[in-house]
Amino acid sequence: MNGITIALSKGRIFEETLPLLAAAGIEPLENPETSRKLIIPTTRDDVRVVIVRATDAPTYVQYGAADIGVAGKDVLLEHGGDGLYQPLDLRIAKCRMMVAIPAGFDYENAVRQGARLKVATKYINIAREHFAAKGVHVDLIKLYGSMELAPLAGLADAIVDLVSTGSTLKANNLVAVEHIMDISSRLIVNQAALKLKREIIVPILDAFASVVGS
């Protein structure tokens, strides 16, 4: 392809990237929520969008199947951003990585006593680092979704999950007890593409930066 390919996941990242794309004169011609198309042309014939699973965006950009993309800091930390240039925090899809427990569980006390905690999460690497830094012993249990269920069903004592409004925690009688880090999405760029397709990519980076910076 002569132009460039942008990897985006549908949902919040696609929606929140639209104003940034608009600043670069890029408007997708179909809505991935209603279209089944995975390759979406845009108002610029040198730019197309591919719709990927959020966790797959770094892979597409690493291998050069997409030239640029958008990925959450959680995804980049968990799956690695190897070889990716990450020039810009887009400040979209903001949320927080938290430790949460069932209301009533005395987490502080369990930690103080050196208890071994069972922690369920999709974010094994982030959780491992967090508890290691605190010197808390944990058995990590890998899940792929609905972390909130784990303590309720007796699978784990605590979870590590992304929280934005906290309403999902509340609805399941869970409380957040530790803030691990703030999360937002980053622009990711294939380094070879940046060299070979500079004249297309750099103005897009500049347009994004002007929106984010304002």
Instruction: Give me the residues that bind ligand ATP (CB under 6 A), please.
Output: 9, 11-13, 54-55, 72, 74-75, 93-95, 145, 162, 164, 183, 185
Quick one: 135 exposed, middle or buried, by C-beta within 10 A (0-12, 13-18, 19+)? exposed
**Contact of 126 with 78, CB cutoff 8 Å:** yes
Six token digits for residue 92: 């979209």
The residue (of 185 and 190) whose beta carbon lies closer to ligand ATP is 185
Report d(CA 24, CA 27) in Å as an integer.
9
Check: CB of residue 90 under 8 Å from CB of residue 183.
Answer: no
Q: What is the DSSP letter of 116?
A: P
Which C-beta is closer to ligand ATP: that of 117 or that of 143?
Answer: 143
Other Cβ atoms closer than 10 A to 188:
26
Least distance to ligand ATP, CB of residue 10, Å: 7
Residue whose CB is nearest to ligand ATP in the complex, by number: 72
Q: How far is the CB of 57 from ligand ATP (least distance, A)?
A: 9
Residue type, 164: S
State the nearest-atom distance from the C-beta of 113 to ligand ATP, in Å. 32
Angle 60-64-66 from CA coordinates, rounded to 5°: 55
Judged by CB, which is closer to ligand ATP: 8, or 200?
A: 8
CB of residue 66 vs ligand ATP: minimum separation in angstroms?
Answer: 16
Nearer to ligand ATP, 51 or 201 (CB): 51
Between 12 and 37, whose beta carbon lies closer to ligand ATP? 12
Contact between residue 129 and residue 209 where contact means Cβ atoms under 8 Å apart: no
Shortest CB 140 distance to ligand ATP, Å: 19
